[in-house]
Chains A and B, each alone.
Chain A
Amino acid sequence: MKVTIDGIEIDVPKGTTILEAARMIGPDVAPPTMCYHSKLKTSGGYCRTCIVKVTQGSAANPTPMPKPVASCRTEVMEGMVVENTINKEILEARKGVVELLLINHPLDCPVCDQAGECHLQDLGYSHGAATTRYEFPRREFERIDIGKYVQLHMTRCIMCFRCVKVADQLTDNRVHGVMHRGDAAEISTYIENVIENEMSGNVIDVCPVGALTDKTFRFKSRVWFTKPVEASCDCKKCSGKVRLWMKGEEVLRVTARKDQWGEAIEFICNECRFEKKNTADWKIEGPSPIHKSSVISQNHYTNLNELKVQVMKQQKALGFMDINKRP
């Protein structure tokens, strides 16, 4: 199927979403996402950051779609024409979504364990405004203990539902979910239940913000002082393909490998994630590939200059401020 996104035509298989098609073209036209995760079925549609304008529904029915659509949940049609970064209304609307996502968010990145690898931080930086218009107290929740490995701090949650989908799709019995509704909705366990399941740790990797964090890593180090390397082991429960976050020879943290969009490529089991913290447990394959929003890790970029140029080009095209000249 032929679809045109921001003037670039691409041929994609039937059933591809607009978002996937845009990602195939590349990061310049791919809309930002917060709740979509390529490895989780039925994810996406909630955060509304990925909205785009469909100016031509299909070749057969060229009428534009009246409202912006969530690109992650809308399949392409033959001859569809989509506008993302070239549509002012979409950029304005997205700014609105980002603002609304942030009004009840603490934005205390300096003391947040997710800082440096937080999708919301990136999104706020690339698409948000420099100041807030929200003058009211922000929503706050107590921290909830959901077991020995995972820390839940709802105050930072953006209700992306990805952790709920992980529990539904990777574990056999979901014990956490959404309670209450509207802006009082929260992710919680059923009467302070403990999430105990071999695959439960994946909720940490899919959480785009600092709402679900790894207790075995909490506040051991800022992520940008650690060095990610790809490693593997023979594991019976999962693929054993992981990313180690090292400081010197020490393994501070184990996570799934993430793709260029920050989404886990293969989910890993709790034993690999929480129990194997020795270099001897792993076969090290080499440094992790670097992408535009990767955590800055020391001294092993191979394509740093190329990357810088790319980022700057993009930002210029999008009319963002120059990151090197921040006011």
Chain B
Amino acid sequence: MLRTEPITGNDRRVAPAEVPKTTRMTLVQAVTRALYEEMERDPTVLVLGQDVGKDGGVFRATEGLYEAFGAERVIDTPLAESGITGTAIGLAVAGFRPVAEIQFMGFVYLALNQFFCHAARLRNRSRGRYNVPMVLRMPYGGGIRPPEHHSESYEALFVATPGIKVVIPSTPYDAKGMLASAIRDNDPVLFLEPKRIYRAFREEVPVEPYTIPLGKANVVRVGKDVTLISYGAMMRPTLEAADAVARDGVSAEVVDLRTLAPVDVETLTASVAKTGRAVVVHEAPKTGGFGGEVTALLNERVLMHLEAPVQRVGGFDVAFPPALLEDYYLPHRARVVEAIRRTLSY
């Protein structure tokens, strides 16, 4: 029997009086909705990228925007990621708020020179005169069995580059509120969308605009024996693992980081100080992944509370495999459960 604990997400307490109406939507619909609302409230918001206009995006994330706002604000670009990113930087410097789409995270390398050397640094280089209020959004991660280079999770690269905020929602509700915040933010934001769960489930989302602050994690389940830390599409196997160990009476607290940079160190350390044990889960390769950063932070700040070494569950240290083998690569419930048991039996 599954013992399910109530979801206690702090953001779910959005005052119902203010936003009485909700509608059920998927994560990808929430992205579209956020883009729509932000474009509506701020005429400087632009969308640009490959196939984002007439086609509505290869995942339909920009569906309807071209019809609603026209080709001047929903811009189909030539096929060049450096071009998209560098042009967005120029637009941002000169008064617009571009939301640039990279079709798949596997192709973001071509954008990195612009994003890292300029978007991330311009505020600092111009000593505050210029800033780059752009969002670089893209689907990331595995689980849909596409061809090579369509399943990558390179978030750690961005976390390792000062000057960028890194945001990864795991629910439709968060996606809408955090994309709105990302667009309104005055610094460059990398917004990663877990495509595996683009349409995996629907939830009630307020129809009115709202924002969720960046840099705030969400304790989605309260527990006392171990803290499970994850984000994006890996929240599912992480929650499943929490359910699985609950059957043996293990009470796991589950933290959805939501923002990786700047990470919500307070929520993290408070939780682990309470539970004394931590497991970090992500699908990017374990070596050099964000799990290492979380582990180091916990060691630096709550070492004396730790009852066991922090456990990392990550992808293997190889390229994301072709479709037929991707299930072997992606972390799943059993691997998380195993890591929980390792911390408990330490």
A pairs with B: no
